[in-house]
Structures are given as structure tokens and as C-alpha cells.
Amino acid sequence: GQNIDQPTEMTATEGAIVQINCTYQTSGFNGLFWYQQHAGEAPTFLSYNVLDGLEEKGRFSSFLSRSKGYSYLLLKELQMKDSASYLCAVRDSNYQLIWGAGTKLIIKP
Amino acid sequence: IAGITQAPTSQILAAGRRMTLRCTQDMRHNAMYWYRQDLGLGLRLIHYSNTAGTTGKGEVPDGYSVSRANTDDFPLTLASAVPSQTSVYFCASSDVQDTGELFFGEGSRLTVL
């Protein structure tokens, strides 16, 4: 079966760095996405990786290792507004997205 | 402002009633999707449409139907609602010629009693 694993919840301090991991087992691979979802709101796109390596976008970076079935989202200089759920999703060989359950990130002052 | 509009944003429904959730996008995206999101579970695909006139079943299609008469609209119908269909429903669209990033509507919170 297809599976995406990510931690259920993480806590970090304002101004610090946090890494959210995602491991996947899917039928084929055509890209990995990270989305941010604030409570009661819709998911919004953060990043897309299709090749191995690190993609940096401001305070957020996303890393992919296809051979290990592994990705992480790195958030630097954490702000209170970063408190949200972070969703990992993999596009499989049929170009369908398989979603993880999300990681709830709690930022403390 | 371009985007996806869902209606209603919230609805309480008696079991056995018929309900249609509306979704409209103005980005001219070919692909559209309906997901449900339940606590502790990832987004689960109900139905999708890769282009106007075609639809396909996702992971959890039972009890739901969709139509795609044109590019912009993708309504989701619950023919006879049951309590297990209580959920938050998200409509999304994507331009499959690009990365395939999904753009989501604001969601429709449905409670079936």
C-alpha cells in the first residue's frame, strides 16, 4: 500500500529552527509537495521537489532524497504565525497525490 | 481576485437528505478535485476531473457523485447523507501543465445528524 509518515505534533520556540520530516512509500514518484494549513483554513502551497537536493525559499527550505523515500521541511527564524499544520504529499505514478496526516507545529514564545 | 469559491461554507444536514456542495474556479485550470479532511487523517480524494466532460473516482467515492459540465464548475453531490459524511470538504484545482500545485477553496464544513 501507499503510505506517507510524518510526526503528529511538534513544538518549537519563536526565533528557533525546526525540521519536519516526511517519509513515503508510494507506487512511483512524480514529485513531493509541502503545504501549510492554518486552523480552520485551506491548505496553501509551500514547496515542490522532484529532484534530490535542497530547495530554498526565504525562511523555508525543503529537501528530498528519492533513494531514501525521505523529505524534510526546514523552517528558520520561527514566528508565531508559523503555528500551523504542515502537510506532506507525494504524487504517484498515476499523478495522484497521496497525503500525509499532517504535522501540527506549535510555536511558543 | 482569481481563485476557487466553495458554497456553502457550513451546513447542518439531516441524515437521508440530498446535498450539493458547489465549487467554481476562475483560473481556467483543467483539473479539479474534491477532498474530505477528517481529524487525524490526511486529505482523502473523493472524485476528480482531469478536464471538462470527464470525471474519475478517488480513494473514497462511495456516497458521492460529481459532474464537470464546463471548465469552471465542479459540484459534489451527496445523494442521501449519512453521519459518516460529517467532514470538512475541500475543492481544489491545478494546472497540470505546470508543477501541478493545488489551489484550494476555503472549505465546506458539513455536519450530518
d(CA A74, CA B62): 38
Residue with cell 523555508: A60
Per-residue pLDDT band at B112 (split at 50, 70, 90): very high
Local confidence band at B41 (pLDDT 50, 70, 90 cut-offs)? confident
Residue bearing cell 473516482: B57
**Mean pLDDT across A68-72:** 97
Beta strands in A14-91 (DSSP E): 18-25, 32-37, 44-49, 53-57, 60-65, 70-75, 84-91
**pLDDT confidence tier of residue B2, bands split at 50, 70 and 90:** low
- Omega cis (within 30) before B8: yes
Interface test with A, best of B34, B37, B48, B55 (most A CBs within 10 A): B37
Which chain A residues have a beta carbon less than 8 Å from that of B96? Answer: 95
Question: pLDDT band at A31, cuts 50/70/90?
Answer: very high
Quote the pLDDT of residue A95: 83
Q: Mean pLDDT over residues A94-107, rounded?
A: 93
Count A/B contacts: CB-CB distance under 8 Å: 46
Residue B37: name the closest of B113, B96, B104 by CA. Answer: B104
Interface touch B43/A96, C-beta < 8 Å: no
Given CB atoms, is B13 within the 8 Å cutoff of chain A?
Answer: no
Residue in the block written with cell 535542497: A54
Cell of A8: 503528529
The per-residue pLDDT for B98 is 65
The mean pLDDT of B91-97, rounded to a whole number, is 87
Residues 6 or more apart whose Cβ sits within 8 Å of residue A66: A29, A52
pLDDT value, residue B97: 63
* pLDDT of B96 strictly over 80: no
Reported as a single tens digit per residue, the pLDDT across B63-83 is: 999 999 999 999 999 999 999
Q: Burial of B16 by CB count in 10 Å (0-12 exposed, 13-18 middle, 19+ buried)?
A: exposed
- For the segment A62-79, the average pLDDT, to the nearest whole number, is 97
Confidence check: pLDDT of A76 > 90: yes
- The residue ranking higher by pLDDT, A2 or B37, is B37
CA distance A16 to chain B (A): 27
The tally of CA atoms less than 13 A away on the side-chain side of residue A59 is 11
Residue type, B14: A
How is residue B60 written as a grid cell?
473514497
- A window 13-72, beta carbon within 8 A of B: 31, 33, 35, 41-45, 48, 50
pLDDT, average across residues B86-100:
88
Q: What is the rounded average pLDDT of the residues A51-55?
A: 96
Residue matched to cell numbers 504524487: A91
